[in-house]
Structure 1
Amino acid sequence: MGKYLKSLVFGLLCVVLLAGCSTKPPGSDSEKKGSNNELKIGFSVSTLNNPFFVSLKEGAKEAAKKDGYKLITVSAQDDSAKQANDIEDLIQKNVDVLLINPTDSSAVAGAVKSANDAGIPVITVDRKSDKGKIATHIASNNVEGGKMAAKFLIDQLNGKGNVVELQGVPGSSAANERGKGFDEAIKDAKGIKVIAKQPADFNRSKGLSVMENIIQTGSDIDAVFAQNDEMALGAIVALKEAGLKDVKVIGFDGTKDGIQAVKDGKMAATIAQKPKLIGQKAIDAAKKAADGKDLPKFIPVELKLVK
């Protein structure tokens, strides 16, 4: 009887020890995805104080909910240091995939490398990262959008006039690319002169104050190209207060407020993106990246001139 009890106890101990052992280390795929193998996606957004990025987040949120994925969204509030910390936190939470909408394309590179070192696929949306391994980039073709804006203004001004360019956040790929496309196309019109280029950080209130300062120089202004609708809407207020009614203003993004301004005749046009669709495509790409599937380097989302 004593031998039987000893054998039984030894057997139970073996079962307990084997149950405590795991062939998967902590942080492995099975643990990261949870008991129901749920895909966990981290999303670092540059800011949620801009309607465009709110729509981008909503598109991702709706797609994640539909597919049963867990989406963790954090806002950097246009602060590169905060974004780096946010991304490190998401890495520590063992997300399966990281979606990043960089505040600054250069500054985010270190955080991208941290995700790379942790073996987490990274997808950039709307804005690029200058360095690091990126599974894919999902965005509108900002260079082409800038060219569309320039061609529209050339037509509106009959090839002659003075233009102001309000730039986005310095260092962001969106600002660089939209400016590049606009500058390349506008130089073909010899009668058009870009009299001022100043950053207003994609912000409506800054668009207003920067435009006020440019107006105060006393230069004749025939048109304004703002690299997003928020800056365009700010510029419109400044122009109205200065009594400049005939200045053509074109924005970029196609936000609800921007399109309404076009309908109301306050803004000449906007280059409309589809932020919700960008967010939806990001979730689709995240699942493929998590499954180890190859993705194209760039997934474009079409633009449309709204006038």
Structure 2
Amino acid sequence: MKLLVILIMIVSFGFAKEKVVAFAQDTMGNDWRVAQVKQMEEALSGVDGVKFIYKDAGGNTALQISHIEEFISQKVDVIVTSPRDPQLTTLVAKKAKDAGIPLILISRGIDSDDYATFIRPENYDIGVSAAEFIAKELNGKGKVFILQHIPTTTPAIGRTNGFLDTIKKYPNIKVVDMKVADSLRSKAIIETEEAIKRGLKFDAIYAQSDSMAIGAIMALESNGIDPKKIVITGIDYISTAKELIKEGKLRASYLYPTGGKEGAKAALDILAGKKVPKDIIIESTEVTKENVDKVKPIF
């Protein structure tokens, strides 16, 4: 119902003079970020007088910064980004502000308040919930292997700190290793297989995205290990995650909306001269076998 309201409100907008909303995306190399761009594009496609453009930095921080600077020089009306590096993006955010161009941050933050609005779920809280869930599934005792999202980003920082701060309450649960897999299935396969080959023992895998959880499951199966015997959690709750939860291979995923539709609504509010909240928090939900058929995947 909430998304329907957003879409209805979007359709009601219209501008006599063309406005340009420009998205500087970190990478289109994973399905979640593709969906983030496409959902914003679809939400804005029916609005008269609004043109949506985007650029894919391919996971290259310098190129993403360059894209934002390019948008500033083009004098677009609104810039949207999901920063790969919060510190470096902070510098270019100041340039956008000085140029009078509102900046919308989606899912990832920067180190200043030089932005119009920051749209995201609470990553720290997700980390806390994942730690509590894994601790319960392990009955308070076991070894955890972490597959981390891009470590410089605010989601990775929140998801990691929330988990580590909480798991410390369980003295018989140890984090035995943490490897960066950048939310890519291919890297998660490599890191999990290397962990298995070097004899790392673990009872749970905290994957900071469903893509990494899927990669870990594939690596376990290719090495003759039943993923149902490992407590594996992911984040995003995509359709594949739903299937894996029903199969018992994935114990839980945390709904993590892309924010594309909410970003489109914020951009239109800004263009219409309306005030937008500095922070827009999107609700997240823990999805397990108990409620898997009641929660719709993000794509």
TM-score band, normalised by shorter chain: 0.7 to 0.9
**Aligned residue for 2:144?**
163
Whether the 8 Å CA contact 2:90–2:114 is kept in 1: the answer is: no
Q: Which is worse superposed, 160-169 or 265-274? A: 265-274
SS of 1:155's partner is helix
Q: Does 1:208 align with 2:155?
A: no
CA distance in 2, matches of 1:87, 1:219: 42
Q: How does 1:152-301 map to 2 (within 5 A)?
A: 152-245=133-226, 246-275=229-258, 278-301=259-282
TM-score, normalised on structure 2?
Answer: 0.86
Q: Which is worse superposed, 236-245 or 96-105? A: 236-245
Deviations 1:31-51 (A, max 9, x none): xxxx93222111111111211
CA distance in 1, matches of 2:143, 2:198: 13
Whether the 8 Å CA contact 1:236–1:266 is kept in 2: the answer is: yes
Q: How does 1:99-110 map to 2 (within 5 A)?
A: 99-110=80-91
Following superposition, the deviation at residue 243 of structure 1 comes to 2.4
Following superposition, the deviation at residue 132 of structure 1 comes to 5.3
CA distance in 2, matches of 1:70, 1:168: 32
CA distance in 2, matches of 1:185, 1:295: 33
Following superposition, the deviation at residue 93 of structure 1 comes to 2.2
Whether the 8 Å CA contact 2:185–2:214 is kept in 1: the answer is: yes
CA distance in 1, matches of 2:90, 2:131: 31
**Aligned residue for 1:37?**
17
Following superposition, the deviation at residue 194 of structure 1 comes to 0.6
CA distance in 1, matches of 2:246, 2:32: 18
CA distance in 1, matches of 2:126, 2:39: 21
Amino acid in the other structure paired with 2:20? K
CA distance in 2, matches of 1:67, 1:156: 47
Total equivalences in the alignment: 271
Amino acid in the other structure paired with 2:152? G
Match of 2:104 among 101, 123, 132: 123
Whether the 8 Å CA contact 2:156–2:208 is kept in 1: the answer is: yes
Whether the 8 Å CA contact 1:76–1:103 is kept in 2: the answer is: no
CA distance in 2, matches of 1:264, 1:66: 39
CA distance in 1, matches of 2:53, 2:239: 25
Q: Does 1:51 align with 2:31?
A: yes
**Alpha-carbon RMSD:** 1.6
Whether the 8 Å CA contact 1:116–1:132 is kept in 2: the answer is: no
**Aligned residue for 1:66?**
46
Match of 2:123 among 134, 142, 145: 142
CA distance in 2, matches of 1:294, 1:303: 25
CA distance in 2, matches of 1:121, 1:105: 17
CA distance in 2, matches of 1:43, 1:78: 14
Whether the 8 Å CA contact 1:113–1:132 is kept in 2: the answer is: no
CA distance in 2, matches of 1:107, 1:271: 29
SS of 2:75's partner is coil
Q: Which runs of 5+ in 1 are unaligned?
A: 1-34
Amino acid in the other structure paired with 1:121? P
Following superposition, the deviation at residue 247 of structure 1 comes to 1.2
Q: Which is worse superposed, 235-244 or 220-229? A: 235-244
SS of 2:254's partner is strand
Q: Which is worse superposed, 128-137 or 35-44? A: 35-44
Following superposition, the deviation at residue 126 of structure 1 comes to 0.5
SS of 1:260's partner is helix
Amino acid in the other structure paired with 1:296? P
Following superposition, the deviation at residue 203 of structure 1 comes to 1.1
CA distance in 1, matches of 2:246, 2:28: 25
Q: Which is worse superposed, 89-98 or 255-264? A: 255-264
